[in-house]
A and B are shown apart, each in its own frame.
Chain A
Amino acid sequence: MLNERTKAKLVEVVGSANFQDSSEARLVYSYDATPNFQSLPDAVIMPENKEQVKRILTICNEDHVPIVPRGSGTNLSAGTCPTQGGIVLTFNRMNKILEIDEENLTATVQPGVITLDLINAVEAKGLFYPPDPSSMKISTIGGNISECSGGLRGLKYGVTKDYVLGLEVVLANGDCIKTGGKLAKDVAGYDLTNLFVGSEGTLGVVTEAILKLIPIPETKQTLLALFEDMDAAAKTVSAIIAHKIIPATLEFLDQPTCEVVEDFAQVGLPTDVNAVLLIEQDGPPEVVSRDIEMISRICSEGNAVSVKVAASQAEAEALSTARRSALSALARMKPTTILEDATVPRSKISEMVKAINEIAVTYNVKICTFGHAGDGNLHPTCLTDARDKEELHRVEQAFEAIFHKAFELGGTITGEHGVGEMKAPYLALKMGGEGVAAMKAIKYALDPQGIMNPGKIFAKDTRKRVVVRS
């Protein structure tokens, strides 16, 4: 618990209305969207500006109180679950779009801006902010930056880090630094901007961000290709890329995923084939038409049983919205839904999908797979029941096997969700001991007291990944 002295100092900074430590407030900030993680913070604090954030961090640093920055709590790696107690710092009062600079093609925002609100605001000016995580209606830009979120457009446009030009960050000791800026070219010294993007709130608190915008693509077309055979679909993905076409979106859903998504969204997704590819291309009309035609042909040659181009923008929109609901829709099937984020080089998609299915059989667990096939970012999702301890153990083993396989194929343990606490035990697999040591050195240099989102990214000694806490 916080001692009264610390509490009084924090209340003085934000006022009593913006400091909550009732059991209700503590409970509702005890979780994010990660299954099986829950832990009560000591309090929740809602600052209004950078000055307040600076003072809050100074107090927490002096009094050794953990700080967990949190956007809308949609993340899937337990990155915003306050597992070590302390204070949850929310950005609901720092949610303004400060500027859309049409001359420099940048947007300057506060961290609490909802992703979709930003996307809509810039599109109204004919500009484009590509990162579009499935949770974009809810997630905040600050959260996207901290987790380095991806999305459906990642294949062609990359992830959040490719669009962050500059940051204002408050460090653990209360110092405020500015990194990068509106410049297209800026190489002075270490790339601190990229260091903070994806740092999951373990190095500092982002209080402002300058984001890169690009011109909005002129047109977009959506195509749906159905396959009897999952392997054929996966091979088609590789074939499309091998033909030197980079679609804006190249999504993959297996049969059970289609079934539950269709049950929720009712958009006419087929439920009787084993794999579906949802492909989008955007750009100048002639390029889009040419690419879509070529993609259709490649799909047909790859044994697709049906290839259909969406008739209207509304139909296309409905399909991608439905796809965004895949994870939550899968939760209809079993009480607990554990989603993973294993990523492999694009050329290895088919091999990885096959391996996932074999691993599911080996450990006798139910795994549905969907994901961003085009960028090798798969979301094998396990449907289980956290109350069944025996099954949960097999789920853990299966995921461990999946991570090893991904790594063996030259892949990684997360493509867009962050490491958080959920995947901390596997960081060494990807980075090696020396890599982890280098990361820890940076962490220690910037946060010697260890107050910034402790327990995240770096593992403790246990290797168990599914932990239930109360």
Chain B
Amino acid sequence: MTTTKDIQQAFKERLDYDELMNCMRCGFCLPSCPTYGQTNQYEAASPRGRIALMKGVVDGLIEPDESVEKQLNLCLGCRACEPVCPSGVKYGHLLEEARDIIQQKKRHKWPVKALRHMVFEQLFPHKERLKNVHSLLAFYQRSGLQKAVQKTNILNVLPGNLAQMEKTLPPVLTKKEMKKRPFLFEAEGTRERTVAFFTGCLMDTMFMETNNATIALLQKAGCKVVIPEVQTCCGALHAHGGEKDQAKKLAKQNIMAFESIQADDIVLNAGGCGALLVEYDHLLKEEPEWKERAAAFSAKVKDFSEILLQQQFVEKQKLSLPSQIITYQDSCHLRNVMKTSSAPRKLIQAINGTVFNEMENADHCCGSAGIYNLTEQEMSMQILDYKMEKVKETHAHTIVTANPGCLIQMKLGVVREGVEESVRAVHLADLLLEAAESK
């Protein structure tokens, strides 16, 4: 029982009451919320409802019991509610704080504790270890083991959709190949900008080829690309998963790493990471010695699509692909927090030979949302199935995304629908490089 009291007390101390009051309950957020839609308009599964729950705990109207925690966990954190909120409520910040309180006060059962420890502390903050995991994966894929395992159907004993997920894993590079990459790339032609590249964790291991493609595109657009060596995980998984202290530690490490480079921009290709990077100043708002440095860092963060557009990439580079219909699934954080939504579309539409079909509700979350597709599998798959219906309506052959989580999710969607033969999911950078190289 003391845990409940502790949580309640921490809600009172740490949640911004002005921000809670700022929600005037107009409900303008409701139609934008995927979980509200998927729960048949259940108020508790909406941003307005969740804010009311948080305020209810602070006001002492309800206890922070399991149902409150469940609703907060069910939120994708896609933040689609923020741009449509006329009152300007910072919902994402409230949610992050509330989740952090619950996680810190909660007594997890040991398997959960061990898993969280491994993911948040032992794995993601250490890129070398991630690379090791991926080199195992590379071995698994290349040794024929993957084929053998898939044949046995042994994976079907895995819970939920893990067996399907296994099929979506892209072929990863070996550790040796990962190590080969230099840290400096000169611009092709005249150098117009110097950009520092934020590599990310998943993007630089499981999707390292996409990172390489992004660098190549930036070079073609006249950018010198520098990769600060000591950068680390962005901390987004930690911040969203209720591990704020760890997120702050990682943020400081990254700020220091990028301060050592005199770059015009800090560029990346993962909306999920970008959204936290542009909010480092908020994350470190209570640490005066870091606030300004964080703000300077955040101000430089841009998605690569914005840089390409700004550098007139489509004028400099002829883009073409064999005839196909393309559609684009927004990365929520890229759209709602980094405010990038037209640049990727403009780039895709510049590819000759292809047709761009906008998907209905492309701005609605695909259900990936960090580790949501593992922690809230049922809702995640419900949202994904809805999403795939919308994809089908566009008749697209190619689904483009701009974030590793969304990419994995959309690949999973393709597998679930059994349309691997006719539909592919691809990161924008890979598509653009393919179009640039295609003769």
Q: Are A and B a genuine interacting pair, yes or no?
A: yes
**Which A residues have a C-beta under 8 Å from some C-beta of B?**
22-25, 27-33, 35, 38, 40, 72-74, 90, 92-93, 95, 114, 135, 137-138, 261, 264-265, 325-329, 331-332, 335-337, 385-386, 470
Known: A35-B24, A325-B86, A332-B87. A28 touches B53 (CB 8 A): yes
Interface string of B19-56 (1 = CB under 8 A from A): 00110111110110000000011111010010011001
7 contacts between A and B (CB under 8 A): A23-B67, A28-B44, A33-B24, A138-B27, A332-B86, A332-B88, A470-B61
Judge whether B52 and A27 touch: CB under 8 Å: yes
Closest-by-CB residue of A relative to B68 is A24
- B114 contacts the other chain (Cβ, under 8 Å)? no
Residues of B within 8 A of A25 (CB): 44
Assess whether B28 is in contact with A137, with CB atoms less than 8 Å apart: yes
The 5 A-B residue pairs with the shortest CB-CB distance, nearest first, are: A328-B86, A331-B87, A325-B86, A24-B67, A92-B41
B374 is an interface residue with CB less than 8 A from chain A:
no
A137 vs B33: C-alpha distance when bound (angstroms): 13
Q: Among B28, B43, B56, B67, find the residue whose CB has the most chain A CB atoms closer than 10 A.
A: B43
Q: What residues of A have a CB within 8 angstroms of the CB of B44 in the complex? A: 24-25, 27-28
B98 to nearest A CB, angstroms?
A: 14
Q: Are B86 and A329 in contact (CB under 8 A)?
A: yes
Inter-chain CA distance A335–B55, complex, in Å, is 14
Given contacts A24-B68, A27-B61, A31-B25, 15 further A-B contacts (CB under 8 A): A24-B62, A24-B67, A27-B56, A33-B24, A38-B61, A72-B30, A92-B40, A135-B27, A264-B86, A325-B28, A325-B86, A327-B24, A327-B26, A328-B26, A332-B88
Q: Is there a chain A Cβ closer than 8 Å to B398's Cβ?
A: no
Evaluate contact between B87 and A328: CB separation under 8 angstroms. yes
Give, as a whole number of angstroms, the nearest-CB distance from A117 to chain B: 10
B62–A23 contact, CB under 8 A? Answer: yes
B65 at the interface (CB under 8 A from A): yes
Residues of chain B within 8 A (CB-CB) of A470 are 59, 61
Min CB gap A444→B, angstroms: 32
The docked-state distance in angstroms from the alpha carbon of A385 to that of B86 is: 18
CB distance from A360 to the nearest CB of B (A): 20
| B161 on the A face (CB < 8 A) | no
A40 touches B61 (CB 8 A): yes
The yes or no answer to B354 lying at the interface (CB within 8 A) is no
Q: Which residues of A have CB within 8 Å of B41?
A: 72, 90, 92, 95
* A144 CB to nearest chain B CB (Å): 14
Q: Note all chain B residues with C-beta closer than 8 A to A265.
A: 86
Measured in the bound complex, the distance between the Cα atoms of B20 and A386 in whole Å is: 13
Most buried by B among A32, A73, A90, A93: A73
Cα of A325 to Cα of B44 in the assembled complex, Å: 23
> Max chain B CB contacts within 10 Å: which of A328, A329, A470?
A328
Given contacts A28-B44, A135-B26, A138-B27, A328 and B85 within 8 Å (CB-CB)? yes
B65 to chain A, nearest CB (A): 7
B71 at the interface (CB under 8 A from A): yes
B residues near A33, Cβ cutoff 8 Å: 24-27
Interface flags for B53-91 (1: CB within 8 Å of A; 0: not) read: 100100101110101100100000000000001111000
User: Which size bracket describes the interface of B in this complex?
Assistant: 20 to 34
In whole Å, how far is B28's beta carbon from the nearest beta carbon of chain A?
A: 6
Contact A331 B52 (CB under 8 A): no
Q: Report the Cα distance A344→B154, complex, angstroms.
A: 75
Q: Which residues of A contact B286 (CB under 8 A)?
A: none
B67 adjacent to A22 (CB under 8 Å): yes
Cβ of B18 within 8 Å of any chain A Cβ, yes or no, is yes
Cα–Cα, bound, A31→B85 (Å): 18
B25 with A332: CB separation less than 8 A? no
Residues in B whose Cβ lies below 8 Å from that of A328: 24, 26, 28, 85-87
Q: Which residues of B contact A325 (CB under 8 A)?
A: 28, 86
B53 lies within 8 A of A72 (CB): no
Q: Kindly state the separation between the CA atoms of A73 and B49 in the bound complex, as whole angstroms.
A: 11
Assembly CA distance A33 to B43 (angstroms) = 13
Q: How far is the CA of A148 from the CA of B122 in the complex (A)?
A: 59
Query: A295 → chain B, closest Cβ, in Å?
Result: 28
State the CA gap A326–B93 with chains docked (Å).
Answer: 24
Residue on A nearest B45 in the bound complex, by CB:
A28
Determine if B24 and A337 form an interchain contact, defined as CB atoms under 8 angstroms apart.
yes
Distance between B74 CB and nearest chain A CB, rounded to angstroms: 11
Known: A28-B52, A28-B53, A137-B31. A331 touches B22 (CB 8 A): yes
CA distance A73 to B56 in the complex (A): 17
Q: How far is the CB of B215 from chain A (nearest CB, A)?
A: 34
CB distance from A431 to the nearest CB of B (A): 29
Which chain B positions have C-beta within 8 A of A95? 41
Q: Is the CB of B18 within 8 A of A335?
A: yes
**Which B residues are in CB contact (< 8 Å) with A337?**
24
A30 to B48, CA, bound (A): 12
Is A331 a contact of B49 with CB atoms below 8 Å? Answer: no
Complex CA–CA separation, A137 to B32 (angstroms): 10
- Minimum C-beta distance from B258 to chain A (A): 30
Question: Shortest distance in angstroms between A88's beta carbon and chain B's nearest beta carbon?
Answer: 10
Complex interface bits, B191-206 against A, C-beta within 8 A gives 1, otherwise 0: 0000000000000000
Which A residues are in CB contact (< 8 Å) with B65? 23-24
| Bound complex: CA A114 to CA B27 (Å) | 13
Q: Which residue of B lies closest to A140 (CB)?
A: B41
What A residues does B24 contact at CB under 8 A? 33, 35, 327-328, 331, 336-337
Q: Is the CB of B22 within 8 A of A27?
A: no
- B71 touches which of A24, A31, A336 (Cβ 8 Å): A24
Check B43–A73 contact: CB distance below 8 A.
yes
Chain B residues lying within 8 Å of A30, measured Cβ to Cβ, are 52, 61
Across the interface, which residues of B come within 8 angstroms of A137, CB to CB?
28, 31
Closest Cβ of chain B to A63, distance in Å, is 25
A241 to B85, CA, bound (A): 35
Least CB separation from B69: chain A residue: A24
A38 to B61, CA, bound (A): 10
Would you give the shortest CB distance from A401 to chain B, in whole angstroms? 24
Task: Evaluate contact between B63 and A23: CB separation under 8 angstroms.
Answer: yes
Which residues of chain B are within 8 angstroms of A74 by Cβ–Cβ distance? 26-27
Residues of A within 8 A of B52 (CB): 27-28, 30-31
Report whether A27 and B62 are in contact in the complex, using a CB–CB cutoff of 8 Å: yes
User: How distant is the Cα of A28 from the Cα of B45 in the complex, in angstroms?
Assistant: 9
Most chain A C-beta atoms within 10 Å of own C-beta, residue among B21, B31, B61, B86: B86
How far, in angstroms, from A365 to B40 measured CA to CA in the complex? 41
Q: Is A335 in contact with B21, judged by CB distance below 8 angstroms?
A: yes
Chain A hits for B28, CB < 8 A:
135, 137-138, 325, 328
Q: Which residues of A contact B59 (CB under 8 A)?
A: 470
**Min distance, Cβ B428 to any Cβ of chain A, angstroms:** 26
Chain B nearest CB from A355 CB (Å) reads 26
Check B88 against A72 for contact (C-beta < 8 Å): no
With A27-B56, A35-B24, A40-B61 as given contacts, are A331 and B86 in contact (CB-CB < 8 Å)? yes
Minimum Cβ distance to chain A for residue B94 (Å)? 15
Whether A28 pairs with B49 at a CB distance below 8 angstroms is yes
CA distance A329 to B63 in the complex (A): 31
A421 CB → nearest B CB, Å? 15
Q: Select from chain A the residue with minimum beta-carbon distance to B20.
A: A335
Cβ–Cβ < 8 Å partners of B88 in chain A: 264, 332
Instruction: Return the chain B residue nearest A75 by Cβ.
Output: B27
Best-surrounded residue of B27, B59, B68 (most CB of chain A within 10 A): B27
The docked-state distance in angstroms from the alpha carbon of A31 to that of B49 is 10
Q: Complex: how many Å from CA A253 to CA B430?
A: 49
Q: Does B27 contact A72, Cβ atoms closer than 8 Å?
A: yes
Residues of A within 8 A of B21 (CB): 335-336, 385-386
Tell me the nearest residue of chain A to B56, going by C-beta: A27
Bound-state CA distance A95–B71 (Å) is 24
Closest chain A residue to B40 by CB distance?
A92
Least CB distance from A207 to B in Å reads 18
Q: Give the complex CA separation of A264 and B28 in angstroms.
A: 13
